[in-house]
Amino acid sequence: MDLTSSQLPPPRLRAQNGVVEVPAYTDLKLHDICSGPDDPNREALDMNQPAGSPAFFAGNTKFLTRKLWGAAKKPNYFHHGKFTTMREAILAHSGEAQGSRNAFEALSANDRNAIIEFLKTLQVLPPGTRRLVVDENGRPRSWPPDAED
Ligand code: HEM
């Protein structure tokens, strides 16, 4: 599908140097973000393995990186849906994502809040919206906010 086609409803993604970037905020890959066998987010059974096999009972710690585009409007979070806030979800990252979590925890409270506010801006737009960045009422707005002044 041509994501830049004028046949598609607006707002349309634009190609830059022939490349259309889709701001999905995921790598669409499996990652082990558990801290080890005792991580509460680990799955006790690996449903991707033949039922009853040793691999099945070995459990699973690898999960598909969820897209952050639109995540704010779709709680609950993680594969088990136990987290009701994105903050809880971020603080549950370990393993391969430990560095990101450390970076988040090292921020000031204000900057941690700013990350959560940023995640809320990654909206899936209501049908008929013509601009990529809108306020909570669907009206076009400038981004970053400083550009409005
Ligand atoms: C600052 C960086 C990051 C932020 C703000 C972030 C945020 C989030 C959020 C809010 C979720 C929950 C989404 C949902 O369930 O709909 C999530 C899930 C996930 N993230 Fe991250 N993440 C970050 C970095 C990473 C990194 C570096 C990795 C991998 C190396 C990763 C791997 C995952 C995976 C695998 C899930 C799904 C977990 C599950 O379903 O159990 N994240 N992330």
- pTM listed for this prediction: 0.88
Pocket of ligand 1 (CB under 6 A): 31, 33, 41, 63, 65-66, 68, 71, 77-79, 86, 89-90, 93, 96-97, 100, 104
Residue 138 lies in a domain: no
- Exposed, middle or buried: residue 93 (CB in 10 Å: 0-12, 13-18, 19+)? buried
User: Separation of 72 CA from ligand 1 center, angstroms?
Assistant: 13
Q: Which of 2, 32, 30, 33 is nearest to 18 (CA)?
A: 2
Residue 66 lies in a domain: yes
Residue 40 lies in a domain: yes
Question: What's the mean pLDDT in 24-43?
Answer: 95
The pLDDT tens digits of the residues spanning 53-101 come to 999 999 999 999 999 999 998 999 999 999 999 999 999 999 999 999 9
Residue nearest ligand 1's atom 27 by CA: 97
Residue nearest ligand 1's atom 35 by CA: 65
Question: What's the mean pLDDT in 22-48?
Answer: 94
User: Separation of 146 CA from ligand 1 center, angstroms?
Assistant: 28
Residue 147 lies in a domain: no
Residue 31 lies in a domain: yes
Domain that holds residue 113: 15-126
Beta strands in the chain (DSSP E): 15-16, 19-20, 30-32, 62-64
Give, for ligand 1, the residue of 66, 111, 115 to mutate: max count of ligand atoms closer than 8 Å to Cβ.
66
Q: How many domains does the chain have?
A: 1
Residue 68 lies in a domain: yes
Contact of 59 with 123, CB cutoff 8 Å: no
The pLDDT tens digits of the residues spanning 96-117 come to 999 999 999 999 999 999 999 9
User: Separation of 100 CA from ligand 1 center, angstroms?
Assistant: 9
Residue 139 lies in a domain: no
